[in-house]
Amino acid sequence: MKILVTGAAGFIGSHTCERLKGLGHEVIGLDNFSAYYNLELKHLNENALNKKNISIIKKDLRDNAFAEALPKDINYIFHFAAQPGLSSTSSFEDYLSNNVIGTKNLIDYALKLPDLKLFVNIGTSSIYGLEATFAETILPKPASYYGVTKLAAEQLVLQKSREQLFKSCSLRLYSVIGPRERPEKMYTKLIACAFNNTEFPLYNGSATHLRSFTYVGDIVDGITSVIGNDAKVNGEIINLGTEVEHTTQDGIHAVEKIVGKTIKINNVEARAGDQLRTKANIDKARKLLNYNPKTTLLESVKAQVEWYRANFL
């Protein structure tokens, strides 16, 4: 199959590209190399993909000209590209243009593909709101610009299934961790603080927040399993993550145990819109995709520490 992956130089997108290539597919990556976070990491990911003969087209989905650089015989689209997370440096317009307008432009491109089998939107548990412990049928209550615009993007994609213009699904991911995690995310920041003897900024009250910390390899298992299940997943929203919950404090202790150092903590003001609890309800994923994540928190952290040590020390 010929597969397009947007956001290919990012954390989960780059891992998905590698897995798809390993499964024998032809992979075309697309990324705008946004300066939202240090470009050094994105280029590190790009170099890893290039070594496996996966090239990345440098285009922005907000620029209609991106479609001119892409082939017209794509069979699958995996859409990761987005303005991610909660950030005081990102405006509403950043979230709107990247997550909604960019997705709409990609849909317009997809509508012209004669051999498209499935458009896979990569969603997020942030769509659910401050607590994400529910089945996919629950009414979403996003509490951030990120969650609101990702919900809008998801519905734009699924609309095309309802109109029977192409098959699509949306995968809502839960607290993904592992090698290549973005530098502003919890575990990469914790590991950096441990090795560099600097303070970790802990948001007030967040030590007891519960998360379904899910290893990136387990997430990619679920993502790639939709291939060949086009009719089964068409029009569906599917949660992907682990059912095992850990607190933020558990995560801190896990990094300390693997690195062998105590991390200095600096308590800072809480973030608006931060989720209090996530626990992936994966009954549908088990039923439709035989999904079964198995990697433990300590195994995940160990892999991430080894990646950080190999690339940044």
Contacts from 140-148 at CB under 8 Å and sequence distance 24+?
143/272, 143/273, 143/275, 144/86, 144/272, 144/273, 145/90, 145/92, 145/95, 145/96, 145/273, 146/83, 146/84, 146/85, 146/86, 146/95, 146/99, 146/273, 147/273, 148/95
Determine what percent of the chain falls in helix, strand and coil, rounding each to the nearest 5: 40, 20, 40
Residue labelled with tokens 């993007």? 153
Told to judge if 291 belongs to the known catalytic residues of this protein, a careful annotator would answer no
Residues in the chain: 313
The full DSSP string for 95-156 is HIIIIIIHHHHHHHHHTT-TT--EEEEEEEGGGT-SEE---TTSPP---SHHHHHHHHHHHH
Cross-sheet strand order for the sheet of 246-247: 131-132, 277-278, 210-211, 246-247
Active-site position among 37, 95, 145, 146: 146
Mind telling me the catalytic residues? Answer: 146
